[in-house]
Amino acid sequence: MMISRQRLHSVISIFVTVHPHETYNVFYATSSFFFALSAYFVVLPLRDEGAISLGIRNLPGLFIGSLVLTLIAAPVTTLIFSSPHISKPKALVLIHRFFSASFVLFFILWILSSPANSRVTIEPTTTHNKPGFFSTSSTVKEEVNVEEHGWFYVSVRVAFFLWVALLNLISISSTWARVIDAMDNESGSRLFGFIGAGSTLGQLFGSLFATTMTCLGPCLLLVASLLMELAARFSEKISKDVSHNSEESSSTLRRTGSTKSRYWALLEGIRLICSSTYLLNVSLFLWLSAMTTSFFYFQKVTIIASTVTSPTERRHSFAQINSFVAVFILTGQLTLTGRILTVAGVTIALCSTPLFSFLNLIAIAIWPTYWSVALLETFRKVITYVLTRPGRELLFTVVSQDEKYKAKVCIDVLVQRVGDAIAAGMYRLLYSSLNGKTTTISLYALPVCFLWILTGFQLGRRQTQLAKSQNLSIRF
How do residues 173-201 score in pLDDT, each as one tens digit? 788 777 877 776 677 667 777 787 777 78
Question: Residue 229 in contact with residue 38, Cβ under 8 Å?
Answer: no
Mean pLDDT (the chain, rounded): 74
Measured over the CA atoms of residue 442, residue 445, residue 449 and residue 452, the dihedral's sign is negative
Global pTM reads: 0.62
Tell me which of 249 and 370 has the higher pLDDT. Answer: 370
- Please determine, for residue 369, whether its predicted confidence score (pLDDT) is greater than 90: no
Measured CA to CA, the distance from residue 335 to residue 194 in angstroms comes to: 9
Phi/psi for 121 (5° steps) reads -115, 120
Residue 128 binned pLDDT confidence (cut-offs 50, 70, 90): very low
What DSSP assignment string belongs to 245-314? S-HHHHHHHHHHHHHS-GGGHHHHHHHHHHT-HHHHHHHHHHHHHHHHHHHHHHHHHHHHHHH---HHHH
Domain 19-127+140-239+260-475, CATH homologous superfamily name and number: MFS general substrate transporter like domains (1.20.1250.20)
Mean pLDDT (whole number) for 244-267: 43
Mean pLDDT of 248-270: 48
DSSP lists the bridge partners of residue 133 as 369
Average pLDDT, integer, range 422-431 = 75
pLDDT at 450: 92
Q: For residue 252, is pLDDT > 80? A: no
The ranges assigned to domains in the chain are 19-127+140-239+260-475
Looking at residue 229, what is its pLDDT?
94
